[in-house]
Amino acid sequence: MNLMDILQGQLSEEMVGQLSEHIGAEPQQTAQAATDIFATLLGGLANNTVTEGGLSSLGAALDRDHDGSILDDLAGMVGGMLQGAGQTSPANNGMGMLSHILGGQQEVAAEQIGQSSGLSAGQVMKLLPILAPIVMGVLGKAKNSGGLDLGSLASIIMGGAQQGQQQSGMGDLLGNILGSVMGGGQQQQTQQGGGLLGSLLGGLFGK
């Protein structure tokens, strides 16, 4: 069990179909793009959490706005966003999350994800704000339900980013994102994160 499996498991076949119709793509392309988006967002979060300030900010955001409750009715949240009624609260404000996670690299990431999945950058840009709240919801549920401290949270995110790099077609981009943070100490932290994922997240998410 790993963080990427948990994220991918949130998307039902029906939901992938709805997203595909929304952006005008084949379901297989949408599913691949979703994997790449999850991996990219975890990479961005991993990069942000290597500083004490960035990690503290993420922890505060999770405590304040992301308790994981959006996962209880994810289909409803996604459906609302597809109909233009979403992004009305901090918990599903995907554009705001992207700004914090990827900064000015959103278009660059969209182009890279498009090349990997066969979608256009424009299609990927439509998916990014819909999928970002899922990442934050999963992390919020893990932190709040598992009572994780910030160090454990950072380990899980770093481990998930490495898993995403392995699973997605985004190796080069994620390698650049993570290149400055995957030193010896962080590598050990990643391995610890993998253990936490196996023992904790599997139980929390019923996988």
Per-residue pLDDT tens digits for 132-173:
999 999 999 999 888 889 999 999 999 898 888 888 867 666
Is residue 192 over pLDDT 60? no
Above pLDDT 70, what percent of the chain? 79
State the chain's mean pLDDT as an integer.
Answer: 83
Looking at residue 50, its pLDDT comes to: 84
Measured distance CA(43)–CA(174) in Å, rounded: 6
pLDDT at res. 173: 66
Q: What percent of the chain has pLDDT over 90?
A: 50
Structure tokens at 93: 């404000």
How is residue 86 annotated by DSSP? Answer: -
- Residue 52 is predicted with a pLDDT of 85
Distances (CA, A) of 79 to 11, 36, 74, 129, 162: 12, 21, 8, 13, 30
pLDDT of residue 87: 63
Domain boundaries, the chain: 3-204
Q: What pTM was computed for the model?
A: 0.84
Helices marked H in 91-120: 94-102, 106-117
